[in-house]
Amino acid sequence: MFSNLIRIQATLVYAIVALVVALFVVYLGFMTRYYVLFFDGTFEMFEYYKQLQVFNKEAFNIALLFIVMAALVYVFGLSNYRPGLASLAVAVGTTVFVTMRSLALLNVIPLYKRGYLALDFAELDDYTPTTFAFDAASLIHYLLIGSFVLLTLVAIVSFIQRIREGHPLIRKFQ
């Protein structure tokens, strides 16, 4: 059971790192598909593009913070060891932080998506509207929330086992 929990924990940590990197890449290239709205679009499209830039800047900054959170989870050894008190606190804290920030973005993404779909693209030649960036960002946020919650639950179970075996609350690093 011990090694299975560690394997599950490690898999979740690596999944979180991969998801955070994917989210970073999505937000890094988020505006690429929509630059046509700025250059070739109507005034309404230009105004929407400016609003979308504000959203993208905030979302990108959040993705950078998520990278720091994933690094903390990795550095505190949740991919290799049963957590001590500090590692458990990091798991719970990062889960709460990522969940709160993700939910804030998940409340806004559909509004921007609807605003995008409400635009009249008839003026733009050879432009196919796509909501891939919105959909990908939403999906990754949901997957991140789920992965962090699962990691925290597994870490709690592993921590409880650690305590039952008589190990100290605070794990010593070699």
Q: In this structure, is residue 61 part of a structural domain?
A: yes
Number of domains in the chain: 1
Q: In this structure, is residue 169 part of a structural domain?
A: no
Q: Which helix (H) or strand (E) holds 76?
A: none
Q: In this structure, is residue 73 part of a structural domain?
A: yes
Q: In this structure, is residue 8 part of a structural domain?
A: yes
Domain that holds residue 143: 2-164
Decide which of 30 and 98 is more confident: 98
Q: In this structure, is residue 172 part of a structural domain?
A: no
The predicted model scores a pTM of: 0.89
What pLDDT does 168 receive? Answer: 67
**pLDDT higher than threshold 70 for residue 159:** yes
Q: In this structure, is residue 54 part of a structural domain?
A: yes
Q: In this structure, is residue 173 part of a structural domain?
A: no
pLDDT tens-place string over residues 102-117: 999 999 999 999 999 9
Q: In this structure, is residue 80 part of a structural domain?
A: yes
**pLDDT higher than threshold 60 for residue 31:** yes
Amino acid type, 167: H
In the numeric block, the tokens 């100290």 are attached to 168
Can you tell me the distance from the alpha carbon of 123 to that of 139, in angstroms, rounded to the nearest whole number?
31
Q: Which of 4, 151, 19, 7 is nearest to 73 (CA)?
A: 151
Percent of the chain scoring above 90 in pLDDT:
55
